[in-house]
Amino acid sequence: MIHYVPASLDNLTRVVEYVLDSSNRHEMKMIVASANAWCQHAVTKDRLTTDAIVQLIKYEHTLYTAYEDTWVDEWIDVRRRIIDNVGTDLVDCS
């Protein structure tokens, strides 16, 4: 069972009508149950951390592809500005 209702700008009105149609209530409840199960698996501290690292690695690869090695020098300047403006005393918000 999917955990979302697929829609696009092309079919959004038709999908909303389908979702709100009371004759589809059971199917919508099953989608909600599936979404809840997916969230319990996918939205964990470990999974979110892993996903964030994967995205950062992809971002780094994209930077090297687009800018070769020049982005490293530019990032040093950006990092310095961030530290100057924000500082390094960030704390965990949990």
Same domain, 38 and 49: no
The answer to whether the beta carbons of residues 15 and 5 sit under 8 Å apart is: yes
pTM over 0.85: no
pLDDT at site 78: 84
Same domain, 37 and 49: no
The span from the CA of 2 to the CA of 61, in Å, is 31
As a three-state string, the secondary structure of 22-56 is HHHHHHHHHHHHHHHHHHHHHCCHHHHHHHHHHHH
Split into its structural domains, the chain has a count of: 2
Same domain, 54 and 22: no
**Is there a domain that residue 25 lies in?**
yes
Report residue 3 as tokens: 């955990």
pLDDT at site 26: 97
| Average pLDDT of adjacent 10-residue blocks, the chain of 94 residues | 91 97 97 94 90 91 84 84 78 72
Range(s) of the domain holding residue 52: 45-86
pLDDT at site 31: 96
The answer to whether the beta carbons of residues 71 and 64 sit under 8 Å apart is: yes
**Is there a domain that residue 35 lies in?**
yes
Same domain, 29 and 56: no
Same domain, 50 and 23: no
pLDDT at site 94: 67
